[in-house]
Amino acid sequence: MTKQHSNWWKHTIAYEIYPSSFQDSNGDGFGDIKGITSRLDYLQSLKVGALWLTPVYASPMVDNGYDVSNFYEINPFYGTMEDMERLIAEADKRGIKIVMDLVFNHTSEECDWFKESRKSRDNPKSDWYIWKDAPDATAGEKHASDIAGENYADREPPNNWRSIFGVPAWTWCEERKQYYLHTFAKQQPDLNWENPEVRKALYDIANFWIKKGVGGFRIDAIPYIKKPADFASGKPDAGDGMVSIHTMTVNTEGILDFLQEFKANVTEGKNVFTVAEANGVGPEDLKYWVGEKGAFDMLFEFGHLHDVEIWCKPSPFGIMDFKKALIASQRATARNGWYPVFFENHDKPRSVNNFFSPAVAGDPTKNKLAAKALAVLMMTLRGTPFLFEGQEIGMTNMKRNSIDKYDEVNTKAQYNLALQEGFTPDEAMGFVNRFSRDNARTPMQWDSSPNAGFTTGKPWLGMNENFTELNVAFEDASEDSVLKFYKELIELRQKTRTSGNDYTALNDGDLEIILENHPQVLGFKRFSSAGIDKDIYTILVNLSETAAELDEILFLNQEKVISNYGDNLSSNSLRPLEAVILHSSDFMI
Domain end, chosen from 135, 160, 190, is at 190
Is 301 found in the same domain as 279?
A: yes
Q: Is 351 helix (H, G, I), strand (E, B) or coil?
A: helix
CATH number, domain with residue 257: 3.20.20.80
Q: Is 399 exposed, middle or buried (0-12, 13-18, 19+ CB in 10 A)?
A: middle
pLDDT at 498: 43
User: Which of 359, 325, 100 has its CA nearest to residue 210?
Assistant: 100
Residue 444 lies in a domain: no
Cβ atoms of 166 and 417 within 8 Å: the answer is yes
For helices 196-212 and 81-93, give the axis angle rounded to 10 degrees: 60
Is 136 found in the same domain as 87?
A: no
* 32 CB-near residues (< 8 Å, 6+ apart): 19, 23, 24, 25, 26, 77, 78, 79, 83
User: Which of 355, 370, 344 has its CA nearest to residue 485?
Assistant: 370
Task: Please state, in angstroms and as integers, the Cα–Cα distance from residue 119 to each residue in 113, 357, 523, following that order.
Answer: 10, 52, 58
Domain count for the chain: 3
Beta-bridge partners for 351? none
- Sign of the dihedral through C-alpha 305, 61, 219, 13: negative
Q: How do beta strands 216-219 and 97-102 pair? A: parallel
pLDDT at 509: 86
Is 223 found in the same domain as 307?
A: yes
Is 209 found in the same domain as 186?
A: no
pLDDT at 6: 67
The one-letter amino acid at 542:
N
d(CA 65, CA 214): 19
Distance of CA 73 to the CA centre of its chain: 24
pLDDT at 557 over 90: no
User: Which of 78, 43, 36 has its CA nearest to residue 57?
Assistant: 78
Residue 565 lies in a domain: yes
List the domain range (segments joined by +) for residue 20: 3-105+196-397+468-476
Query: What is the average pLDDT across 50-67?
Result: 97
Is 92 found in the same domain as 226?
A: yes
User: Which of 392, 376, 391 has its CA nearest to residue 526?
Assistant: 376
pLDDT (tens digit, 9 = 90+) per residue, 441-485?
Answer: 999 999 999 999 999 999 999 999 999 999 999 999 999 999 999
User: Which of 94, 48, 98, 96 has its CA nearest to residue 490?
Assistant: 48
For helices 482-494 and 364-380, give the axis angle rounded to 10 degrees: 10
d(CA 8, CA 443): 30
d(CA 247, CA 130): 18
pLDDT at 371 over 70: yes
pLDDT (tens digit, 9 = 90+) per residue, 24-56?
Answer: 999 999 999 999 999 999 999 999 999 999 999
Give me the DSSP letters along 365-430: HHHHHHHHHHHHHHHHSSSEEEEETTGGGT------S-GGG---HHHHHHHHHHHHTT--HHHHHH
pLDDT at 570: 67
Q: What is the CA angle 16-20-25, rounded to 5?
A: 105
Cβ atoms of 418 and 427 within 8 Å: the answer is yes
d(CA 515, CA 320): 11
- Sign of the dihedral through C-alpha 515, 517, 518, 523: positive
Residue 426 lies in a domain: no
d(CA 391, CA 349): 11
pLDDT at 2 over 60: no
- Binned at pLDDT 50, 70 and 90, residue 3 comes out as very low
pLDDT at 277 over 60: yes
Residue 512 lies in a domain: yes
Is 342 found in the same domain as 203?
A: yes
pLDDT (tens digit, 9 = 90+) per residue, 230-253?
Answer: 999 999 998 999 999 999 999 999
User: Which of 126, 141, 180 has its CA nearest to residue 158?
Assistant: 180
pLDDT at 496 over 80: no
User: Which of 413, 451, 457, 456 has its CA nearest to residue 432?
Assistant: 413
pLDDT (tens digit, 9 = 90+) per residue, 138-197?
Answer: 443 444 444 444 444 468 999 999 999 989 999 999 999 999 999 999 999 999 999 999
pLDDT (tens digit, 9 = 90+) per residue, 377-400?
Answer: 999 999 999 999 999 999 999 988
Residue 45: other Cβ atoms inside 10 A: 12
- Binned at pLDDT 50, 70 and 90, residue 91 comes out as very high
pLDDT (tens digit, 9 = 90+) per residue, 71-80?
Answer: 999 999 999 9
Is 365 found in the same domain as 278?
A: yes
Distance of CA 524 to the CA centre of its chain: 25
The one-letter amino acid at 531:
G
User: Which of 422, 423, 445, 448 has its CA nearest to residue 434?
Assistant: 423
> pTM of the prediction?
0.92
pLDDT at 280: 82
Residue 569 lies in a domain: yes
Task: Please state, in angstroms and as integers, the Cα–Cα distance from residue 431 to each residue in 50, 317, 410, 488, 544, following that order.
Answer: 34, 15, 12, 36, 23
Residue 454 lies in a domain: no
Is 340 found in the same domain as 219?
A: yes
The one-letter amino acid at 563:
S
Residue 459 lies in a domain: no
Domain end, chosen from 166, 190, 214, is at 190
Is 119 found in the same domain as 223?
A: no
d(CA 93, CA 401): 45
Residue 12: other Cβ atoms inside 10 A: 19
Q: How do beta strands 510-514 and 521-530 pair? A: antiparallel
Is 137 found in the same domain as 267?
A: no
Backbone angles phi, psi at 301, to 5 degrees: -120, 155
d(CA 502, CA 243): 52
Is 128 found in the same domain as 7?
A: no
Instruction: Please identify every residue annotated as catalytic.
Output: 220, 277
Is 214 found in the same domain as 125?
A: no
pLDDT at 137 over 70: no
CATH number, domain with residue 566: 2.60.40.1180
pLDDT at 155: 81
Residue 445 lies in a domain: no
Share of the chain above pLDDT 70, in %: 93
Q: Print the SS3 string covering 29-47.
A: CCCCHHHHHHCHHHHHHCC
User: Which of 4, 3, 84 has its CA nearest to residue 51?
Assistant: 84
pLDDT (tens digit, 9 = 90+) per residue, 284-296?
Answer: 888 889 988 899 9
Query: What is the average pLDDT across 58-76?
Result: 97
Residue 254: other Cβ atoms inside 10 A: 12
d(CA 415, CA 367): 27
d(CA 377, CA 572): 20
Domain end, chosen from 144, 167, 190, is at 190
Beta-bridge partners for 512? 525
Mean residue pLDDT of the chain comes to 91
- Sign of the dihedral through C-alpha 430, 436, 440, 441: negative
d(CA 103, CA 196): 17
pLDDT at 4: 34
pLDDT at 349 over 50: yes
CATH number, domain with residue 177: 3.90.400.10
User: What is the chain's alpha carbon radius of gyration, rounded to the nearest angstrom?
Assistant: 24
pLDDT at 150: 44
